[in-house]
Structure 1
């Protein structure tokens, strides 16, 4: 067995097999070196701060591939300026290696317009600022939706929610200022239902009940009656009821008269006008107390002899008026008493003595 293994033929075959295996391995590595450009490296050129167009041209001339990435706009740098290169400039890479370029975009990334239509203006402003939009002019427009956002304008055109705009774009907001008052009702009799809807919308009213004579919903039917009537005055947003038919208003005169009796109240101006009289203001009556009856005066017989005035009484003025009055009262009393005494005793009345009044 061992003798057969060391036969020259066996050893020859074994040597040939080993040589073939080594040759295949060598050829494989040589092919890999040729295919991968082993030992052939290219330095990465310095293209930082160059424009992306210049950087791409330099990489193409160097035989290098490239990938461009624009992460976020930075206002400190120029648009399309190369901010960073990977691998870094000066590194050696193989031919065909992709170089990653980070480029400053032209402007901010676009953001979606939030859905703030028919929302309160204060909340709408906050939502617009949160997504990165700035509110420019605030335009007030008559509407029944007071303080609600009606439209969002960008460069003079209305934009719908979820429209993408550049970040920090300035948008104008249209807000409702409340309904207009005393608007004249338009005349839509004789128009089709479709045409009447447009006229009513332009007049800032709303379409209410639309009654078709045949029960259909044909927009081509002709309006033969409306309520309120044309020329009446209403506030913005009021509803207008319409009656439509395929026949003309002239053919529906009886129906129109019937509707007039319901919706058009006639005021009889032949009656005399009602006169209103003002009721006088109520005043509480004042009652005056009746005067007290005067006490009966007793007539006293006047004495034949009058009391003579003294010199002191003549000389007294207004200062001694109370004193003189008192003196006269006493004199009268004494006269009355003496008269009564004289009348009772049938004696002549005695003259009263004059009293002296001394004034200090």
Structure 2
């Protein structure tokens, strides 16, 4: 068996196989070298801080491809200025290699305007700042929607929601300041329904019921009646009802009279005006009058035995009468005529004029139950 391995024919086949293998490997590497331009490298030019137009021209002249990517906008650099290059400048790459360029955009990235119409102004400002928009002027305009956003303006022009604006753009917000009062009603009789809508909207009112005589909804019908009447004053946002027909107002005089009897009620001004007198809700107390005496309590014995005012006054008035009567009593007189008392026993008697004094009235006890 060993002899057969060392046979010259076997050895020849082995050498041929090895030669074929080496040749294939050599041809493969040669093909790869030719296809990939092995050994032919190009240095990456320094194009940082150049404009993107200049950078593209330099890369085209060097035989290099390029890919442009927008960086976040930085106001410190010029628009379309190359900020970064990959691979870095000075690196050696093969011909046809794509170089990535990071370029400063012309302005900030665009954002959508949020839908904040008819929303509360505080919430609207917060939403605008969240998306990256800045609020400039705040304009107040008469509207029935007080403190609500009516419009958003950008450079004086109205912008609709979802409109794209550059980030950090300044927008003006129009906010309702409340309805206007006592606005004169415009006269739309004789106008078409379409024209009446424009006049009413311009006068800051709203169109209410529109009744067509023939039941159609033709905007070219002529207005022959309106309520409220022209010249009346109403607040902003009030509705104006309209009656329209293809006929002229002169042909509808009977219908107009019927509507007047319903919507134009006459007020009788011949009656005297009603006068109202205001009554004070609280009457001020009179501090000059003496306070009333306190009512006696049932459980107080002193109050029960105290005489009334009338009895006390009677008792006090009876005292001076009694004293006067005592002063008017006749005094006892004794007459001595020369010691002859014994001879005139009658004369010697004391003559006393007796007079009953006025009795003092007794105080009555009054028991208050």
Q: Do the structures match in fold with TM over 0.5?
A: yes
1:187-245 per-position Cα deviation (integer Å, ceiling 9, x unaligned):
01111111111111001001111111111111111111000000000000000111111
1:206-217 paired onto structure 2 within 5 Å: 206-217=206-217
Structure 1 stretch displaced more, 157-166 or 31-40: 31-40
Structure 2: state its 5+ residue gaps.
290-309, 334-349, 354-369
- Between the aligned partners of 1:283 and 1:75, the Cα distance in structure 2 is 76
Partner of residue 247, structure 2: 247
Q: Which runs of 4+ in 1 moved over 3 A?
A: 10-32, 274-284, 344-347
CA distance in 1, matches of 2:277, 2:82: 92
Q: Contact 2:330–2:352 (CA<8 Å) still a contact in 1?
A: no
Distance 2:99 2:113 in 1: 36
Give the match for residue 46 of structure 1: 46
Of 338, 348, 358 in structure 1, the residue corresponding to residue 330 of structure 2 is: 338
- Match of 1:167? 167
Q: Distance in 2 between matches of 1:340 and 1:135?
A: 124
Report how far residue 30 of structure 1 moved. Answer: 3.5
Alignment CA distance shift 1:274-1:112 (3 Å): closer
Query: 1:74: how far off?
Result: 2.1
Q: Which residue of 2 aligns with 1:234?
A: 234
Corresponding residue number in structure 1 for 2:176: 176
Query: Residue 115 of structure 1 aligns to a residue in which SS?
Result: coil
Distance 2:122 2:209 in 1: 35
Aligned equivalent of 1:273: 272
Please give the secondary structure, in 2, of the residue aligned with 1:337: coil
Cα distance in 1, alignment partners of residues 130 and 47 from structure 2: 37
- TM-score between the two structures when normalised by the length of structure 1: 0.73
Over 3 Å counting, the alpha-carbon distance change for 1:238 and 1:39 in structure 2 is same
Cα deviation digits, residues 45-78 of structure 1 (max 9, x gap):
1222222222212211111111110131123333
TM-score, normalised on structure 2?
Answer: 0.71
Q: Deviations over 1:270-325 (max 9, x none)?
A: x34246485999999x9xxx9x99x89xx9xxxxxxxxxxxxxxxxxxxxxxxxxx
Change (3 A) 1:177 1:82: same
Task: Report the alpha carbon displacement of residue 23 of structure 1 after superposing the two structures with TM.
Answer: 6.1
- What is the RMSD computed on CA atoms of the aligned residues? 3.9
